[in-house]
Structures are given as structure tokens and as C-alpha cells.
């Protein structure tokens, strides 16, 4: 008996079943969909993972470097607390201490480089200490 004439063989197969001699179209479509989904989720993961670094990029160099290191640590250790710490640090604007301190240091350096006597107030003459006169009078008793 041939397969076509078999009494239990279906005469019409559903579309999702591959024919015996053909290509499984649904498997090819699902394979392409799976590869596309993995690439899309991977791209989404990398964008989310680099979010603190992109936020800190506009801030100071030191803050950006700390956030970048926290992101790398969280990537390799899979400890999400480092990523959260980097995100919080990126969201906070740290005050700029460097600029005023550099200005003060530059001013002090200019003062130190000035020649002695230039731009300084004239020194006052040093006077000898004044002695107190001894007052003679009645002594008070402490008793």
C-alpha cells in the first residue's frame, strides 16, 4: 500500500507542517525572527547599561570616569548595585571645587613669584616694649 492510499493518512496537511520533500518555511521565519529579537534585546540592553555614562558625559571629567568605572564593574560582576550607584552619581550635579581652588592657587603663585618689596605694604618700624610704671600705694589684703 502506498502512503497516499493509506486509510489513516490525511489528504490535506496544515500549513505549519513541512512537506516531506520541501523547506520548512515556518522554521526559517522563526529563525530570522529569533535572530532579530536577540539583536534588538541586546541593543536595548547595551543602551540601558550605558545610560549612566551618557548622562554623566556632560558633567565633570572625574565624575564621568567614576560613573564609567562603576558601569564596567557592574557589567563584569553582574552586581546591579554598582549600576544603580553610577546612575545616582550621574543624576547628581557635584559642585565644582576645582575651578575656585585653581584660581586661588594661581593667585598665591603670582604673589609668591612677585619680587620682595613689590606690591607689599611698607613695614612699620619696630618699637621697643613699653615698661609699666610701678604705682606705689596701699596694698590690698586678700584675706
What pLDDT is recorded for position 54? Answer: 84
Question: Is residue 3 pLDDT above 70, yes or no?
Answer: no
Say yes or no to pLDDT of 80 above 80. Answer: yes
**pLDDT the model gives residue 96:** 75
Please name which of 48, 107, 113, 116 lies closest in space to residue 83, comparing C-alpha atoms: 48
Q: Quote the CA–CA distance of 122 and 2 in Å, as a whole number.
A: 123
74: how many CB neighbours lie within 10 A of its CB?
A: 20
Decide: pTM greater than 0.85. Answer: no
Greater confidence (24 vs 86) lies with: 86
Average model confidence (pLDDT) across the chain: 80
Q: Which of 107, 103, 74 is nearest to 89 (CA)?
A: 74
Q: Looking at residue 8, what is its pLDDT?
A: 63
**Separation of first and last alpha carbons in the chain:** 142
φ, ψ dihedrals at 97, nearest 5°: -85, -25
Residues in contact with 80: Cβ distance below 8 Å, sequence separation at least 6, in sequence order: 74
**Residues 84-123: tens digit of each pLDDT:** 999 888 888 777 777 888 899 888 888 888 756 555 565 6
Amino acid at each position: 500500500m502506498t502512503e497516499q492510499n493509506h486509510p489513516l493518512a490525511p489528504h490535506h496537511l496544515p500549513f505549519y507542517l513541512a512537506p516531506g520533500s520541501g523547506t520548512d518555511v515556518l522554521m526559517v521565519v522563526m529563525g530570522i525572527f529569533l535572530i532579530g529579537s536577540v539583536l534588538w534585546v541586546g541593543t536595548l540592553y547595551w543602551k540601558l547599561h550605558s545610560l549612566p555614562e551618557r548622562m554623566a558625559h556632560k558633567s565633570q571629567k572625574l565624575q564621568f570616569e567614576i560613573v564609567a568605572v562603576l558601569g564596567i564593574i557592574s557589567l563584569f560582576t553582574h552586581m546591579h548595585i554598582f549600576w544603580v550607584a553610577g546612575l545616582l552619581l550621574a543624576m547628581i550635579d557635584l559642585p565644582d571645587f576645582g575651578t575656585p581652588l585653581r584660581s586661588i592657587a594661581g593667585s598665591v603663585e603670582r604673589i609668591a613669584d612677585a619680587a620682595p618689596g613689590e606690591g607689599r605694604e611698607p613695614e612699620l618700624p619696630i618699637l621697643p616694649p613699653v615698661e609699666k610704671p610701678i604705682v606705689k600705694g596701699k596694698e590690698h589684703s586678700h584675706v
